[in-house]
Amino acid sequence: MCLAVPGEIIEITDRDPLLRSGRVRFGGIVKDVNLAYVPEAGVGDWVIVHVGFAISMLNAAEADRTLEYLAQIEAFHEPDDEVP
């Protein structure tokens, strides 16, 4: 339903709370993105972008934990029943 893609904030261009926006890089291209919904995000942070809006900040530590969980599955270990 919702095509949303991770990108890296490379510049904040407008700091007005309503219009807060910046330039976000996806692979080799850059697009202007509204950042009003990720007020805590700054340059160097990764966000998930849908129809020109950052809807969520990407949590790198959680991303690593997901990959660790996958590594446990692959290694025939039963991961903890706790969520990954």
Partner 1 sequence: MRFVDEYRDPVAVERCAEAIARLSRRPWTIMEVCGGQTHAIVKFGIDRLLPGTITLVHGPGCPVCVTPVEKIERAMALAARPDVIFCSFGDMLRVPGRHGDLQSVRAHGGDVRIVYSPLDALRVAEENPDREIVFFAVGFETTAPANAMALRQAKARNVRNFSLLVSHVLVPPAMAALLSAPDCRLNGFLAAGHVCAVAGHEEYEALATRFRVPVVVTGFEPLDILQGIYMCVKQLEAQRATVENQYRRAVRREGNTEARRLMAEAFEVVDRRWRGMGVIPASGLAPSHAYREFDAEVRFPDHLEVGEETTECISGQILRGVARPNDCPAFGTRCTPEHPLGATMVSSEGACAAYYRYRGVNAKTA
Partner 2 sequence: MNQSEPACPLPWDHDTILLAHGGGGRLMHRLINDVFLAEFGAVPPVGLHDGALLDIAGGRIAFTTDTYVVRPLFFPGGDIGTLAVYGTVNDLAMCGARPLYLSVGMILEEGTPIATVRAVAASIRAAATAAQVRVVTGDTKVVERGRGDGLYVNTAGIGVVPPDVMIAPGRVRVGDAVILSGDLGRHGIAIMAVREGLAFETTIKSDCAPLAAPVARLLDTGIDVHCLRDLTRGGLASALVEIAGDASVRIHIEERAIPITDDVRGACEILGLDPLHVANEGRFVAFVPAGQADAALTLLRAHAPGGNAAIIGVVHRDPEGIVTLTSVIGAERIVDMPSGEQLPRIC
Residues that bind partner 2 (CB under 8 A): 1-3, 5, 7, 23, 25-31, 49-51
Smallest distance, partner 1 to C-beta of residue 28, A: 9
Distance CA 42, CA 24 (A): 11
Listed residue (64, 45, 59) closest to 7, CA to CA = 45
Which residues is 11 bridged to in the sheet?
Answer: 23
Element (H, E) at 13: strand 5-14
Answer yes or no whether residue 42 interacts with partner 1 by CB under 8 A: no
CB of 49 to partner 2, least distance (A): 7
39 is a contact residue toward partner 1 (CB under 8 A): yes
Binding partner selected for residue 46 from partner 1, partner 2, none, CB under the kind-specific 5 to 8 Å limit: partner 1
CB 56 within 8 A of CB 48: yes
Total binding residues toward partner 1, as defined by CB under 8 A: 41
